[in-house]
Every structure is written in structure tokens, then in C-alpha cells.
Structure 1
Amino acid sequence: MKRFLTFGLSLVLAASCAKGQAGPNPLSVAVFVPGVTSGSPIYEMLVDGATKAVAEKPGATIKVIEAGYDQSTWLDSLRDTVASGEFGVIVSSNPSIPELCAKLSTDYPSVRFIVVDAYMAGNPSIHTVLYNQMEQGYIVGYLAGLVTKERKPDAVPVAGLIAAQRYPTLDRLIRPGFEAGLKAVDPAFTLEFREVGNWYDSAKASELASSLYGSGVEVILPIAGSGGQGVVASAREHEASVVWFDGAGYALDPEAVIGCATIAQDRLVYERLKAALDGDASKYGKAEIVSARDGYVSFDPEGTGYQALSATVKAGMDAALSSLRAGTPDFSFDTF
């Protein structure tokens, strides 16, 4: 009897191991949103791109998992998603996510991760793509500079940037790009930087913006998640302006928002996920950087706020955008 039980247990374990080795369905996709989709253009594009790719692949399925704004819970939420055994591909978007994926990839080697708006090379389970956000910063910086100089030609040139928090992409790409755009208009420009402390406190962001507008700042760039809505509200109150990052800002206020730097996040996610679902595994382990020359970084000129600007400002922007797409200034970099 003892030998029979041992043999039976061995069969159960062997079956269990065989099932584990089979791994999750490679056509089962989880879109891991480190925040909330609704009201966040970058996450809405993430979901839209993934949904389109899945819809075009017979047998593929998709589930959207929202992890909320508390960054301290993201790893546990991602671990639960991966450990469920339900998903073969996890798609996400945030500079902090690749590090979390790397912590899980060893224990779950059959799961693959595609993370955009992020950079990590060398992990065979992870593919990342980073937008050249220095170019994005330059685009809205140049517009902020033109508008400020036109409205206050005799004032000391100054603009504002309100961020949720300090992080590498902000410090190394967005802020330097924004300052480069300002100084391309007038080298005398200075930048007033303020930090909210989180990605959702619109009241705090509004308070910081009101202080800047009250001190003479004409245009502010918010990099503050949903907190950016507080900056827009303050701009409306002070009859001042906002330039926006990652598109869709015009919908917040058609007059206060005067320009939106854009990324083709939906297109990028669609392209990379579709290739993966079709069996192309060549991108895993690699990190790439996409730019204005590729068409992934651009500017939306269709908003009411932008159309209301002077012909001189719009002509200046057209020239700057054409030059940037041709590689001037050259903000290219090979690694991050």
C-alpha cells in the first residue's frame, strides 16, 4: 500500500509539473494599468492599442487590470496578475514597471512583458520602448517660449513646470527638453519648478500653479497625472495658459490649454503586441527609443487654444516642428 501511495503521489506531481511546464496561454493578454484608465490619455491609448491587436488575432483574449495610484501596491498587484497563470503576455506603460517585471520574470519564465514609456535592456522576458521625451519637452517648451515672449515682451522671460515627483525620465529628458525649447526662443529664459508629491492631488497642483501665475509666469507645463487638472483650473482662473504632455489636453479646457505634445502610444502598443501575438519573439531582451523622426513623437495643432494663437506663433511652431522631424536639434540617444 505504501508503495502504491508513493507511486500515485509521483503521478500527481508529474502531472502537476507537466501542467506548469506548459505555461500560460501565449495569446492571453493582460493590460496592467499602474493607475486608472479613465481620464488618463496615456493609459487610454495603452488599452486601445492592445485591444486592437488582440481583436485582430484569432483566439487571443484580453483583460484590463487597474492597479490604482498607490505605487507601493503595484508589485503585489503585478505579482498576483502573473501568478494567476492566466496570462502569457503582460502589457504596461510606466517608467517604474520594468523593474517590477524583472523581479518576477525569474519565477515566471514563460510570461512575457511589453512595457512602453520605459527603458530596460537585457532581460530576455522583457521588451521596452522609450519615447524621446526630450523632443516632447522641446516642442512644448518652444511653444511656451513663443507665447510668453509675445504676451510679455518686456518682462524677464520665465515659465513653470509642475511635476508629480522627481524621477529619471523627468530629470534627464522632459525637463532638459522643456528648458532647451524655452532657451531656443530666448537664452535668458528661466524655469520655475514645483513638485506636488503625488500623481493625483489636483488641489495641491492648483495651489502651486496659482502661486506661479501670480508671480508673473504665463505658461506652465504640468507633468502631474490627474493632478494636472488642477493646473488647468488655475490657468483658467488667472487667464493664463498650459502646455500639455502626451496629448488630449485640449479636452480639459479648450482655451487654457494652448498646445499638446503627443505620442503615438496606441500605434506603438498595437504594433509591438501584434508582432508578439503573431509569434515574433525577437524584441524580448531589447530596449528601443522612438522619436519624432519615426512619427511616434509629434504635436497636435487642432485645439481651439492653439488655433487662437497668433499667426506668428503658429508659423514659428511649424518651422520648429519641421526642423525637429529632420533631426535639428538632434536629441537622439542610444541608451538611457
Structure 2
Amino acid sequence: MFFHNKGKRRIRMSLPVITAFLFLTLVLSGCSQKDDTYDIAVFIPGVTEGSPTYSEMADGVLAAAKERDKVEASVIEGGFNQGDWGEKVKALAASGDWDLIVTTNPALPKICEAISREFPQQKFLILDGFLEGNPSIYTLRYHQMEQGYLAGTFAALVTGSDMSGADKEHLSVGMIVGQEYPDMNQAIRPGFERGVKRVAPEAKIEFRVVGNWFDASKGSELASSLYDSGTDVILTIAGGANQGVVAAAKERGRYVLWFDTAGYDVAPGTVIGSTAVEQYRAAYEKSLAAIDGTLPFGSAEVASTKDGWITFVENDEHYRETVPKELRERQHRFLEDLKQGNPPLPLLEEER
């Protein structure tokens, strides 16, 4: 975990030191009046290293802070234990030091809603989450059913192709995820399945869970089992465990799909497809709106392919070099159709 003030070097702290630091902050906040600087805390529900969407959020907020006078932003890593996030965010709110807390994760809206009842003056900007009606909270939710759908259409195109790592006589694709959670089970996974079935109704769809967001060995074990049983391509959404999936694919000449950011450079020729969300843009634009006093707290925005918030990353040399033109053209048509609302996809499916 670290605190990072813009323009200053990064300082790493152990958990006991951080706890003492936050306690001292609470004490001092009761003895002094906050100055006229607009202060933003960027709470990372995990760590930034190896987490591109978290890094993009932090970078977007820091860039927004640089655009305005008397605005400072600090980045606080919350670690992998979700059970600790509530107390850590609560400590930030209780300090009274922050005009805005920016964070991202589908679990954070409920956590922040509970905190806002105790500290109603604290404002929250939450990306990749959904909650409306709370005057202290603004959320922006990516239409992850659409994102999963685009990954699914591409996975099906690959398994049914003549690419060297695919066996079109035995259509099989897979997903490996860090953990199950509502948006995974009601948006991403059903979206992926709909995309696969749109292209290859007979394809087999495998689903495996690592159990955490960091165990690369477990990720490799699960991926190896799937590849050895005939799965050609795996969509991996498993944090640090993604590296294990990539390693297993490289050993076997199979394929991986990336999620949320362009992952082609991770393993060119192995990572052959990526969906992405505009996390940097969201953090930058929405933070500026909050600073300027125009962000509509209490509302919940849905970000979709239609408005360019979600896409399938096509403008990449590794993608063009690895994937045959015919497949790229077909995937492009699926993307353009989705922008026009075809097929119409719900935000969520009923809970499984």
C-alpha cells in the first residue's frame, strides 16, 4: 500500500505504519481547519502494479488534478482483502481531509453507501459500479454484458478457424476468473456465452474460478487442464493469476483473450484479442466535473459501446499480424452492430 502525492516521490508503508498514519490524520483533523485546496483520495481496491484499470483510474484523476489550480490528489492502495476495504474507506471519510474519494469496483457502491450515512458530507465518485439516488455518490457503470459479448463472438470465431492454435473440429472456449461476484455472474459471463452462441451455437463453454486475484500457479493449473482437454482460447479475468493462464497458453500454442485493457503486448501471438473500457477517460472527465462542481451526484450513468466507452481493440499491430483478415472483418461487424443496438442486451441477467 502506498500514498502518492502528485509531484512527490512514492512512499511505501507497512500496514501498521498506515494504520498509525490514518489515526494521526484523524487526530490532527480535529485540531485544524481544512484549507481551501480541493483534495482527492484515489482508493485502489487492490494494488496498482499489474492492474492496468487501477493504474488508468489513478492516472486519469492525477491528470485532472493537474488541470486545475489548488487541487491535489493522492493514491491509496487498499490491498487484496475485500473485507478491509470498508474500514479503510471509512477512515478516509472520517478524517475530513478529502473533498472527493474516487474508486472503482462493483462492490464499492454498497460499501460507500453505508459510509455516507455516517459521513453525509463526503462525496464519492465510483467507476465500474452502480448506485443511484444517494446525493453523496456518483457512479459510472460499464455495460459489461456488451463487453463480455464481444469477447464471446471473438472466442467463437477463433475456435472455429484455421488458426494454428485452434481445432475447428472440436469447438471449445473457456473463461477463467479470479472470483465470482454479481456482475460476473449476471453480466460478463452471460454476455460471453451469448456472444459465443451467436457465432457457434454448438461450441462448448468452460468456466473456472481461481478463488482469488493473485494465484498465478492456480491460474496456470486451471488453464493447462482446459487446454489439454481441447479448449482453444480462454478469456481470463483473474488479476495476477492471468500470468499463469498466459504461461499455460504459450507452452501449448493456444490462445488468451484479455479484458478491460489492450493486452496484446503481454504476450504477442498468445494474447490475440482484447476488449477495453475507457477507464482513464472516465476518471479524467468525471474528476474534472467533480472539481468544477458539475458532476451530478445522486445519479448513475451507464457507459456502453454506443458512446465509445467499451470497444474491441482492433488498432494493434500484433492483432493484425496474428489474426486472419477474415476473422478481423467479422469481429468488426459484430462491434459495429452492437453500437447500433444489435443485438439488444440487458445490463444484467437474472441471478443464477
Give TM-score scaled by structure 2 length.
0.86
Match of 1:206 in 2: 220
Match of 2:310 in 1: 297
Q: 2:285 and 2:300 mapped to 1: Cα distance?
A: 15
1:128 aligns with 2:128: no
- Counterpart pick for 1:111 among 103, 114, 122: 122
Q: Would the alpha carbon gap of residues 157 and 334 (structure 1) be closer, same or farther in structure 2, given more than 3 Å must change?
A: closer
1:263 aligns with 2:277: yes
SS for the counterpart of 1:199 is coil
1:276 aligns with 2:290: yes
Contact 2:186 2:348 in 1 (8 A): no
Larger Rg: 1
1:159 aligns with 2:194: no
Match of 1:142 in 2: 153
* One-letter amino acid of the structure 2 residue matched with residue 232 of structure 1: V
Report how far residue 251 of structure 1 moved: 2.3
Report how far residue 156 of structure 1 moved: 3.3
Report how far residue 113 of structure 1 moved: 0.2
Q: Would the alpha carbon gap of residues 26 and 145 (structure 1) be closer, same or farther in structure 2, given more than 3 Å must change?
A: farther
Q: 2:349 and 2:136 mapped to 1: Cα distance?
A: 19
Report how far residue 83 of structure 1 moved: 1.7
1:245 aligns with 2:259: yes
Q: 1:286 and 1:24 mapped to 2: Cα distance?
A: 28
* One-letter amino acid of the structure 1 residue matched with residue 84 of structure 2: T
Deviation string 1:211-232 (CA, Å, 9 cap, x unpaired) is: 0000000000111111111111
Report how far residue 176 of structure 1 moved: 0.8
1:288 aligns with 2:301: yes
SS for the counterpart of 2:138 is strand
Q: 1:291 and 1:284 mapped to 2: Cα distance?
A: 20
Match of 1:95 in 2: 106
Give TM-score scaled by structure 1 length.
0.89
Q: 2:298 and 2:307 mapped to 1: Cα distance?
A: 21
SS for the counterpart of 1:324 is helix
Match of 1:234 in 2: 248
Fraction of identical pairs, as percent: 41
Report how far residue 268 of structure 1 moved: 1.1
Contact 2:236 2:245 in 1 (8 A): yes
Cα RMSD over matched residues?
A: 2.2
Gaps of 5+ in 1: 1-18
Contact 1:25 1:86 in 2 (8 A): no
Match of 1:61 in 2: 72
- Counterpart pick for 1:309 among 315, 323, 326: 323
Q: Would the alpha carbon gap of residues 334 and 34 (structure 1) be closer, same or farther in structure 2, given more than 3 Å must change?
A: closer
Q: Would the alpha carbon gap of residues 168 and 24 (structure 1) be closer, same or farther in structure 2, given more than 3 Å must change?
A: farther
Contact 1:24 1:110 in 2 (8 A): no
- Counterpart pick for 1:188 among 198, 202, 211: 202
Gaps of 5+ in 2: 1-29
Deviation string 1:184-234 (CA, Å, 9 cap, x unpaired) is: 111112211111101111110110000000000000011111111111111
Match of 1:45 in 2: 56
Q: 2:38 and 2:170 mapped to 1: Cα distance?
A: 57
Contact 2:227 2:252 in 1 (8 A): yes
Q: 2:323 and 2:124 mapped to 1: Cα distance?
A: 43
